[in-house]
Amino acid sequence: MISVAAIRMQQFGVQFYQASLTASDIDKLVRFEVLNYGDSGQSGVRGGKKKTPSKVNWDLLERRIASNEKAYQRQIIRRKIDELVQYYEQCRQAKDLPSIPGAVIISCDEKLSFEPVEYGAVVGRLKVPEREGILRAIDGQHRLLALHADIENIRDTDFSVPAIIFDRLPEDHVVQMFVTINAKHTRLNASHLVSLSGRQLYRDAALAAAHDVVRALNDREDSPLHGEIKLLGVGHGRVAQAPLAQELKKLFGSDAFGGPRKSAEFREESKKFFVNYLKQVSVVFGAAWGGRKYSIKSATALRAFLRVSPDVVRRLDQEHADRTDFRMIGRVIAPWGRRIGDLRFETEGAWKRTGTTVESLARELKLALEYPEGAGV
């Protein structure tokens, strides 16, 4: 274990630490990784080698950068590293400016322990397992790589790096933080974000499957939500991704689609199912789906439709039908047109009058499936 000075902080119920790490701590504990776009021979570094001499030993540095399909960071920009190393050297020689005055953001794979200087204090010592690569850069990867490239000139100096450290932060939260920081402020190319599949972004299988479904709903031309979802905070869509992804994550994380084996199998065909399912919803509620004064494409309504999807799948199974069969899905949900109708989604009408919630709408949809002709209600 290494012990570093830290402040324990909390925002909206999330605990994290503001700590001081040495250059040697950074060099040993932080791992660097970039997204592999599928080309196994592709380097994690972008930009050709310049004819002018570089202070960076690129052969050594590139070996330190892992490239895999589970990462989310963009490729390292060679020019940026060169410029940062030159700046670090200027700061070292002039001794009039710090080279990394702003905090980098780091996540730790394991639980960290904090010892306050006294009971209830927020200042104390943070203990980090002394294991290579246990920390992962969320923001500041270029700055830290430049430090690594210049470490021989920095290692023996009194050099500390301010760092915000999270421990065991959920994978989707890590990605969301990375996107929030980079999509706007550093003008990260939107195509880099939107091109990431769930399997590249998230280690959690349920969340990965949820992302892939949302991505299919937005990208496929035959989807009723084509181009309407704001993926990863970028794009022109008006439908937020997060509520849909979280609803789907709950479904994929349970046995909602017929036990562990069937649920695992369903993940593989889920993109086709949900595209066809919502396409039939857009047919059943045609006026509402295409109208401007309806709330059928709100997060509340879409989450309710997703929430009752296991009931639709069970009906398909009872009919011994293919779960992705477009016509059979339409037959199963046809009672919604008779029992519920377009006016239910009129924003200034029944929608507001009844105080619609995800739970209340999902309950109505389930009842309509259970009693298609209204019997027993």
Tens digit of pLDDT at every position of the chain (377 positions): 899 999 999 988 889 999 999 888 888 888 776 655 444 444 555 555 555 566 667 676 667 676 555 555 556 777 888 888 888 888 887 777 888 888 988 888 888 999 999 998 999 999 998 888 888 888 888 888 888 888 888 877 888 899 999 988 777 777 777 766 665 555 555 545 555 666 666 667 888 888 889 989 998 999 999 999 887 665 677 888 888 988 998 999 888 888 788 888 888 899 999 999 999 999 999 999 999 999 999 999 999 999 999 999 999 999 999 999 999 999 999 999 999 999 999 999 999 999 999 999 999 999 999 988 764 44
Taking the C-alpha atoms of residue 313 and residue 287, their distance in angstroms, rounded to an integer, is 25
Half-sphere exposure of 41 (CA within 13 A, CB side): 0
Q: Going by C-beta distance under 8 Å and a sequence separation of 6 or more, which residues neighbour residue 315?
A: 332, 369
Nearest to 198 by CA among 184, 181, 210, 186: 210
- Model pLDDT, residue 30: 84
Write out the DSSP string of 260-283.
Answer: HHHHHHHHHHHHHHHHHHHHHHHH
Taking the C-alpha atoms of residue 310 and residue 256, their distance in angstroms, rounded to an integer, is 6
- Model pLDDT, residue 226: 93
Q: Are strands 135-139 and 45-46 parallel, antiparallel or unpaired?
A: unpaired
Can you say whether residue 46 is alpha, beta or left, with left for phi > 0 and alpha for psi between -120 and 50 degrees? Answer: beta
Q: Chain centroid to CA 308: how far?
A: 24
Q: Going by C-beta distance under 8 Å and a sequence separation of 6 or more, which residues neighbour residue 40?
A: none
Q: Token pair for residue 19?
A: 């700590």
- Model pLDDT, residue 201: 62
Taking the C-alpha atoms of residue 358 and residue 264, their distance in angstroms, rounded to an integer, is 26
Domain ranges for the chain, please list them: 2-169, 190-370
What contacts 24+ positions apart, CB below 8 Å, involve 214-217?
214/241, 214/244, 214/245, 214/248, 216/271, 216/272, 216/274, 216/275, 217/244, 217/274, 217/275, 217/278
Residue 41's identity, in one-letter code, is G
Nearest to 8 by CA among 146, 167, 141: 167
Q: Going by C-beta distance under 8 Å and a sequence separation of 6 or more, which residues neighbour residue 48?
A: 78
Taking the C-alpha atoms of residue 315 and residue 257, their distance in angstroms, rounded to an integer, is 11
- Model pLDDT, residue 376: 45
Report yes or no: 241 and 210 within 8 Å, Cβ to Cβ: no
- Model pLDDT, residue 38: 47
Q: How far apart are the first and last CA of the chain?
A: 64
- Model pLDDT, residue 37: 44
Residue 270: C-alpha distances to residues 73, 219, 302, 318 (Å): 27, 15, 16, 18
Can you say whether residue 203 is alpha, beta or left, with left for phi > 0 and alpha for psi between -120 and 50 degrees? Answer: alpha
- Model pLDDT, residue 41: 44
- Model pLDDT, residue 184: 52
Half-sphere exposure of 313 (CA within 13 A, CB side): 23
- Model pLDDT, residue 377: 41
Report yes or no: 44 and 159 within 8 Å, Cβ to Cβ: no
DSSP state at residue 293: S
pTM for this model (two decimals): 0.57
Report yes or no: 325 and 272 within 8 Å, Cβ to Cβ: no
* Tokens 């020019």, located at residue: 79
Can you say whether residue 125 is alpha, beta or left, with left for phi > 0 and alpha for psi between -120 and 50 degrees? Answer: beta
